[in-house]
Amino acid sequence: MTTARRASAVILAGLITGAVSGVALGVVWWQLAPRVPLIIRSGTSFPQTYQPEGYLAADVAFGVLAIVAGVAITIGLANMRREHLFSVLIAGLLASAVGTAAMWFVGTRLGSVDIVGLSATTTEDLVVDAPLRVAMPGMFVMWALASVGVVMILALGDWISEVRAARSARSDRPSP
């Protein structure tokens, strides 16, 4: 019962920290990501100039924030329950799912602009900042990959220390 309670506490901590940090990181992403100017004309909208670097920089900012969050939160979860890395892995993956969704939702909503409404009601050209978005879907798995990487490194470290302990125990035995 104690083991199940501890594992559920780590999973609950992962969900809570994932949600809270995802909301906070969504605000940070909204502040960090560059905006692409968008021209709105009656019935249409298009970027002011060809600016793929603006979209790329927004995606990179999202990915870097997700990686940092995945590493930091998974290390914190591992400190809670180091002896059972499977619960840390599950908690880290749940934190990544909740945190990534919260980060994307908050970041895209803070910078949202009603492009369709503006293009339908404007009679002259307007220049506004394009809404923030993630153009590369691979950025959504960065948090999860960082969490899995931390757990993998911890498991590898545990395995290496067990192998060294086993070798040490064999060499300490007297030979017949």
- pLDDT for 62: 96
Task: Pull the structure tokens for residue 18.
Answer: 């994932």
- pLDDT for 29: 94
Task: Pull the structure tokens for residue 172.
Answer: 């300490």
pLDDT at 64 over 60: yes
Is 104 exposed, middle or buried (CB count within 10 Å of its CB: 0-12, 13-18, 19+)? buried
Q: What mean pLDDT value characterizes the chain?
A: 85
pLDDT tier at 169, thresholds 50, 70, 90? confident
pLDDT tens sequence across 11-34: 999 999 999 999 999 999 999 988
pTM score, whole prediction: 0.83
Mean pLDDT over 83-97 rounds to 92
Mean pLDDT over 39-67 rounds to 77
Query: In whole angstroms, what is the distance from residue 98 CA to residue 20 CA?
Result: 9
pLDDT tens sequence across 113-167: 766 666 666 667 777 777 788 989 999 999 999 999 999 999 999 999 999 988 8
Give alpha helix (H) positions in the chain.
Answer: 2-32, 52-80, 85-110, 115-121, 142-172
